[in-house]
Amino acid sequence: MSLNVKIQNRQARVAVIGLGYVGLPLAVEFARSGFHVTGFEVEAQRVDAVNRGVTYIGDVAEHTMRELIASKRLRATTDFGELSEMDTVSICVPTPLRKTKDPDLTFILSALDQIKPRLHRQQLIVLESTTYPGTTEELVLPKLEETGLVVGEDFYLAFSPERVDPGNATYTTRNIPKVVGGVTPRCTELAALLYAQCVERVMPVSSARVAEMVKLLENTFRSVNIGLANEVALMCHSLGIDVWEVIDAAATKPFGFLPFYPGPGLGGHCIPIDPLYLSWKVRMNGFEPRFIDLAAQINAKMPEYVMQLVSDALNRQSKSVKNSSVHVLGVAYKRGVSDCRESPALAVMKLLTERGARISYSDPYVDELREEGLALRSAPIHEVLENGCDCVVILTDHPDFDYAYVARAARAVVDARNAMRNFPGEHITRL
């Protein structure tokens, strides 16, 4: 039976490598669409959780997991030997940056080391991990062709960028359009056919390089525009203007403007990192990406600016940062999630610690924090303020916080997210 028939009949055995915030929702959608799905993971704890129907990703409902496990549509394993039995393989592994700011493709290479000895005819491999244009054709393809199999004839290879927005209940894996670009037209056709079974719309493009570039453009667009919003915030501060009022008024224009908002910096795995993948690649081709670099510099300076606002707020109480108690509201990189990767809150907390502040934090999604030299547990905000706190800093505007109480009880508030817009007071400083 040909691969396209297997896919259309839901008889294709689907594999997803990496069961994180991208891979697990994708595996669940494939399973919900009628495929038998196997998730491959190196972390035994995650495999055990999946096989027990327990979710560790906020965007995946536990009752859905339990139903899929009970129906035997979904299972997980650490045994990569089972890849030889799979018809399609989607690679959803992390792609961090090294300290030198160049791409770290270690996890992709590790996945390929597992796939290569098990690659067989009529098998489709799709890379979803965000990376630089050319990775699929320059890195993945040569490694797989070492088997002697020919792409587009014996096996198929494509790139389809993940577009997950953690915590977004409106746009999910199923209804976010899926971009697909294959190494050959037949590769594109089969990859598009596969994803069309579990997402509402598939957007085929002419090549894997185009698909890789699409993802980087999307997040570079956000990074550059957030950088502009942050710089406008600094300008407005120097001019005595409320930047939030400016943006809200500008957003009433029905054309030619999209509102982006300032904050304490960029966080998450994508927006702070993806533009640097693009910068690295184009520099290899002799192009200087000035917009990207400037936006990165502005965004990277925002934790220091927040630190200065805290210092100013304490000075108004005739206090210095050193030995003052500073309580942080929200340490995750965005509202409504538990992910702390690249969170600007960590950078601000590190600066406060270096200046001698006694810091604590509240975050309903992050019980314990052990990063950037910090070892703290989330504390109830009421308890902290009742015991005395010199300044509260709002770094992630979780919907769970009682901002009215904070406005009443805190001696000083530095709000980097405009969470206190409805609570005026001289003790409140907004970004």
**Is 270 a residue of the active site?**
yes
Count of other CB atoms within 10 angstroms of residue 402: 11
User: How far is C-alpha 414 from the chain's CA centre?
Assistant: 26
Q: Which of 143, 137, 94 is nearest to 273 (CA)?
A: 94
Close Cβ partners of 303 (under 8 Å, ≥ 6 residues apart):
264, 265, 344, 347, 348, 351
Amino acid identity for residue 419 in this structure: A
Q: Which of 184, 171, 17 is nearest to 91 (CA)?
A: 17
Q: What are phi and psi of 2, to 5 degrees?
A: -70, 160
How many angstroms separate the CA atoms of 114 and 80, rounded?
A: 6
- To the nearest 10°, report the CA torsion of 204, 205, 207, 209: -120
Helices within 286-426 (DSSP H only): 290-315, 344-354, 381-386, 403-409
**Of 92, 187, 198, 270, which residue is the catalytic one?**
270
How many angstroms separate the CA atoms of 135 and 133, rounded?
A: 6
Sheet holding 155-159, edge to edge: 74-77, 36-40, 13-17, 88-91, 123-127, 155-159, 178-182, 202-204
SS (H, E, C) 151-164: ECCCEEEEECCCCC
Strand partners, 180: 204
Count of other CB atoms within 10 angstroms of residue 244: 18
How many angstroms separate the CA atoms of 351 and 244, rounded?
A: 25
**Residues with a known catalytic role:** 270
